[in-house]
Structure 1
């Protein structure tokens, strides 16, 4: 889900960022490996079905609008959900599903239904975000949601107001997308000015894809390009950003920074079970459709591991608690926001290349 404020200036290719799994013990490692033997895991048919549903649904809705069988206004809610859903799909694809071929996963992820972000930009920043020791650290975590300690006092009032508003549920829907897009575009401009050819190629390719999509939407379907941006793309980004409202928090222990949101079925499906965020961080290579089972296997252990950072009422609870109230302060609470792995006195071992942490 694109939430990066400032993508890192130095990036490593996705293929060089391994999905390192963390297990509680050897039995847990064996349980997770057993999940990979089932038919769904071997064929990844749920993800293939998801791909067909999202792209088929989006294209089908557009054809119905073009044929006059469906008014654009009636199609908007469907298109918004599908565009937001595609952002969740992109997250799954960058983690190596449904194939082991990076070029094919990239091809499946690249259509810019939500417009604003190049897939490869999201891929690189998100994989960098998976370095758990750096979570929430300003200037280090590319998906961080905090200002560095001391920065708050230097901001003008209007920027403070925007930061506070983005920390609320409803405010995030309104100001979250423009703040995120503006920061991403500013970073892209800085990189291009520095002469980074990779950034120029990425944004040029993305721009060409966006231009082609919007041209088809306007010339073939009859929807004005600006109407698609305002009615579909912007709300889709708002919907996608709800997931990251309280996905991480500042804490001493890296795992206590990662939430578990026990959301209802509809939101779990929209976000492809990434609401079980600690489980995903510990088992980043596990496909989306197996995250609930992995959570149920060791629910109590995960609840203890995140130090009670659990939203039991799902996203409705977040709406009730934080509709207009910020989740926490925009400024990082630690003066020196650095992170060092702490296992809480537990044991560390490596099982066949996988990190095991047990307490």
Structure 2
């Protein structure tokens, strides 16, 4: 646990982990079972439900699945990394193999490197040198990405473009781990799309473009203003007091500073830990508090939240 926690806080967290819920992790198991049951059932029922009702139900299910994958790579619901990987490997959301997500996200959790381009793999900031070498179109897209509507529309193409460039370089270098990962992911995708084409009212292309892309875009609402540059690492991570639909879809990751300080804390314990010491968390964040995602849309739909250029790099 972080050394700044006092004895009472440590005892509170220890009690949560020692509780029946903490020991069994039944909420995560229940969600896993629910998603693994809901995904095929929804597709099998899609001829009766209709194409678009199925799509509207599939999108939030995929957002929830991505949040669950995040829990798995942080050691929930088991302590066995291989078992968590097996539980989370299903490529429902298509774009990011579980292994790639796990490895880059663990690197992202080096808080001293948060937001720094080239060190934080999830940074949306550019170094001043890269900014100077960007074309006008790329600069425009980066500015639009700093608004919530722009993140919804252009966040996915920008992220997938970076993914393609980075992974192509690994493959061209002959990186065996990358080849093995993408081959395995490709096999799983082939089987999944065969199921979709055979048993659902969706085509594979419809699922790809109109289910997984919107789901990834919604998940990027969470990361829109999740981090900011700051001289103090603990003040780079937001506390977003979002309303219940977002909290549910993102499994309380809106309280992101709590997660970064206590990455081993399960999603269902985060709100209790936060609300027990709310003023301390807000002070620790340097006042990096957002009252909800609706407020971000209200304030920044037409005004970028900050610059795409990192101020210190």
Q: Please give the range of the TM-score, normalised by the shorter of the 2 chains.
A: over 0.9
TM-score normalised to structure 2 length: 0.97
- Aligned pair partner of 1:168 in 147, 156, 180: 147
Q: Does 1:320 align with 2:293?
A: no
Give the direction of change, closer, same or farther, for the CA distance of 1:61–1:185 in structure 2 (3 Å limit).
same
Determine if contact 1:23/1:29 at 8 Å carries over to the other structure: no
Q: Does 1:31 align with 2:9?
A: no
Deviations 1:15-55 (A, max 9, x none): xxxxx645422222122111111111110000011112222
1:64-75 matches, cutoff 5 A: 64-65=45-46, 68-75=47-54
Q: What is the aligned partner in structure 1 of residue 24 from structure 2?
A: 43
Secondary structure, counterpart of 2:234 in structure 1: helix
Q: What is the aligned partner in structure 1 of residue 220 from structure 2?
A: 241
Please give the alpha-carbon distance, in whole angstroms, between the structure 1 residues aligned to 2:99 and 2:305. 30
Determine if contact 2:253/2:259 at 8 Å carries over to the other structure: yes
Please give the alpha-carbon distance, in whole angstroms, between the structure 2 residues aligned to 1:22 and 1:191. 38
Unaligned runs of 5+ in 2: none
Deviations 1:158-196 (A, max 9, x none): 010111111110111111111111111211110111111
Q: CA RMSD in A?
A: 1.1
Q: What is the aligned partner in structure 2 of residue 343 from structure 1?
A: none
1:204-283 matches, cutoff 5 A: 204-283=183-262
Q: 1:154 Cα shift? A: 2.1
Give the direction of change, closer, same or farther, for the CA distance of 1:69–1:22 in structure 2 (3 Å limit).
farther
User: Which stretch of the first structure deviates more once superposed, 255-264 or 32-41?
Assistant: 32-41
Determine if contact 1:23/1:282 at 8 Å carries over to the other structure: no
Q: 1:298 Cα shift? A: 1.3
1:54-203 matches, cutoff 5 A: 54-65=35-46, 68-203=47-182
User: Which stretch of the first structure deviates more once superposed, 182-191 or 51-60?
Assistant: 51-60
Determine if contact 2:148/2:221 at 8 Å carries over to the other structure: yes
Determine if contact 1:150/1:331 at 8 Å carries over to the other structure: no
Please give the alpha-carbon distance, in whole angstroms, between the structure 2 residues aligned to 1:70 and 1:23. 53
Secondary structure, counterpart of 1:104 in structure 2: helix
Unaligned runs of 5+ in 1: 1-19, 338-359
Secondary structure, counterpart of 1:36 in structure 2: helix
Please give the alpha-carbon distance, in whole angstroms, between the structure 1 residues aligned to 2:299 and 2:231. 24
Determine if contact 2:113/2:120 at 8 Å carries over to the other structure: yes
Please give the alpha-carbon distance, in whole angstroms, between the structure 2 residues aligned to 1:277 and 1:325. 23
TM-score normalised to structure 1 length: 0.85
More helix by share: 2
Q: What is the aligned partner in structure 2 of residue 333 from structure 1?
A: 311
Determine if contact 1:21/1:282 at 8 Å carries over to the other structure: yes
